[in-house]
Amino acid sequence: MTLLVSLLIFFFAVIIHEYAHGWVAWKLGDSTARFMGRLTLNPIAHIDPIGTIFLPLILLMTHSPILFGWAKPVPVDFFNLNNPKKDMIWVSLAGPAANIIFAIALSLIVKIPLLTTSHFAITVITTAIMANLVLAVFNLLPIPPLDGSRVLMGLLPYHLGVEYAKIEPYGFIIIFALLWLGVINTIIWPVVIILTRLLGVNF
């Protein structure tokens, strides 16, 4: 039951993340996600069998210190944005920001007196807070194709951004190598712990 609940929580966090990308892109001039039926919270529209179900399940079953996965990326045509270089930053930040906002909302809910009497409710909500914070911080790493890399590309001069984008085909290899070496855990967990303390949540 705990495994299933954790997987569902992670799945919902990923959906919120992707929806936020599409929604901000739409508001800034690109309707690609909307026209392709991806501007929705319907899980079916976002499921990636490997990244959304299989990989997170394996990580949960092996008690991995970090939960990693992805949904089908929401399509964004940056050239349709009102100001492609600047707006790419806002679209990229939208996913992590949505997860952090959701974590903040959950941290307020978990303090409701009625819920403190239910161990299961507290466990579910705190797990959801952790999943959203980990997803947000992880995606802000400047490794293509993670959101942090899009933010960096938007900040770099054009020619440097083009050169930086060339490592994207090797991005997942770099990510898995850093996960295996424990480097990503070392970077993410201190930040997540600080954020949970700021939210007044104990794990």
- Report the pLDDT averaged over residues 123-130: 88
- With a cut of 80, say whether residue 186 has pLDDT above it: yes
pTM of the model: 0.89
Nearest to 153 by CA among 135, 137, 168: 168
Per-residue three-class SS string for 124-184: HHHHHHHHHHHHHHHHCCCCCCCHHHHHHHHHCCHHHHHHHHCCHHHHHHHHHHHHHHCHH
Q: What is the pLDDT of residues 1-58, one digit of tens each?
A: 666 777 788 888 989 999 999 999 999 999 999 999 889 888 888 888 887 778 777 8
Res 3: pLDDT: 63
From 3, 8, 2, 16, select the one nearest 133 (Cα to Cα).
16
- Environment class of residue 156 by beta-carbon count within 10 Å: exposed (0-12), middle (13-18) or buried (19+)? middle
pLDDT at residue 29 in the model: 95
Q: Decide if 18 is catalytic.
A: yes
pLDDT at 89: 96
> Rounded distance, CA 100 to CA 138, Å?
12
The pLDDT value recorded for residue 2 is 63
Set 14, 16, 18, 135: catalytic member? 18
**What pLDDT does 43 receive?**
83
| Mean pLDDT taken over the chain | 87
Check whether 94 has a pLDDT greater than 70. yes
Residue pair 19/94 in contact by the 8 Å Cβ criterion: no
Give residue 133's pLDDT band: very low, low, confident or very high (50, 70, 90): very high
Q: How far apart are CA 168 and CA 178, in angstroms?
A: 15
- How far from 169 is each of 73, 77, 129, 162, 166, CA to CA, in Å? 15, 19, 31, 13, 7
CA distance 59 to 150: 26
Helices (H) and strands (E) in the chain — how many of each? 9, 0
Q: What is the pLDDT of residues 115-126, one digit of tens each?
A: 777 788 888 888
Q: What is the structure's pLDDT at 185? A: 83
Whether residue 86 is predicted with pLDDT greater than 90 in this model: the reply is yes
